[in-house]
């Protein structure tokens, strides 16, 4: 009879201890749920050739960036975090350290206004991108393993994914996480560095 009352208490205690341990790890620099390791790290970046947001009669082709280090920023006008990071992207673009390519992706296929919304967004808020591809069906974002916008990838000159940042990018995160990796890549370090 005591076991029937003791068992739920033991299960609750085990769950409480597990949650407490995870919270302690997060607070002390351990596990960070914002760091999602990409299976693409150290592997060739998925290629795409999509229409340009700025000029839908032209295309944005990732193969045009082979031979140079660049950043791919996945965003959408529906994305609150994308709006939050936009001023930082403008500041980062002004530094002209590497080209930033945008990948505007729709939240769902029922949103037929995303291209027009993206054009208005860039016109009104400023355009940090050297080119912006329109991912009309979301397949490019899926190929890149995007869980949710915004996500930002660093691609090396050989076309390999060197780093992935999940969530809104800040100037501080750029300076701490991207700039050192860009310098290493320019110095000839191996692609696929992890956070």
What are the sequence ranges of the domains in the chain? 1-33, 34-186
Per-residue pLDDT of the chain (195 residues; tens, 9 = 90+): 565 666 565 555 555 555 555 544 444 444 444 455 677 888 999 999 999 999 999 999 999 999 999 999 999 999 999 999 999 999 999 999 999 999 999 876 666 788 999 999 999 999 999 999 999 999 999 999 998 899 999 999 999 999 999 999 999 999 999 999 999 999 985 444 444
> Residue 106: its pLDDT value, please?
83
Here the tokens at position 151 are 């996500």
Question: Is residue 7 packed enough to be buried (19+ CB in 10 Å), middle (13-18) or exposed (0-12)?
Answer: exposed
> Residue 174: its pLDDT value, please?
98
Here the tokens at position 35 are 């760091």
Between CA 138 and CA 33 the distance in angstroms is: 24
Here the tokens at position 156 are 């090396």
> Residue 93: its pLDDT value, please?
98
> Residue 32: its pLDDT value, please?
47
> Residue 27: its pLDDT value, please?
45
DSSP result, 100-132: EEEEEE-SSTT-TTHHHHHHHHHHHH----SEE
> Which residues face 44 on adjacent strands?
160
Between CA 40 and CA 192 the distance in angstroms is: 8
Report angle CA 64, 148, 22 to the nearest 5 degrees: 125
SS3 for 65?
helix
Question: Is residue 14 packed enough to be buried (19+ CB in 10 Å), middle (13-18) or exposed (0-12)?
Answer: exposed
Between CA 32 and CA 36 the distance in angstroms is: 9
> Residue 10: its pLDDT value, please?
52
Size (the chain), residues: 195
CATH of range 34-186; options 3.30.420.10, 3.40.50.1820, 3.40.50.720, 3.40.30.10: 3.40.30.10
């Amino acid at each position: 009879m005591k076991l029937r009352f003791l068992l739920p208490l033991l299960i609750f205690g085990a769950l409480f201890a597990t949650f407490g341990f995870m919270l302690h790890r997060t607070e002390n620099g351990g596990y960070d749920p914002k760091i999602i390791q990409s299976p693409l790290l150290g592997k060739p970046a998925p290629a795409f050739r999509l229409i340009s947001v700025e000029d839908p009669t032209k295309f944005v082709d990732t193969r045009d960036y082979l031979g140079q280090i660049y950043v791919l920023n996945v965003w959408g006008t529906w994305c609150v975090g994308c709006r939050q990071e936009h001023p930082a992207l403008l500041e980062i673009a002004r530094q002209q350290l590497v080209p930033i390519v945008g990948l505007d992706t729709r939240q769902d296929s029922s949103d037929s206004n995303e291209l027009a919304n993206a054009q208005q967004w860039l016109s009104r808020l400023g355009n940090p991108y050297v080119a912006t591809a329109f991912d009309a069906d979301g397949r490019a974002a899926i190929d890149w393993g995007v869980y949710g916008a915004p996500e930002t990838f660093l691609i090396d000159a050989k076309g390999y994914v060197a780093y992935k940042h999940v969530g809104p990018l800040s100037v501080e995160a750029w300076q701490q996480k991207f700039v050192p990796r860009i310098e290493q890549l320019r110095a000839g370090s191996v692609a696929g560095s992890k956070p």
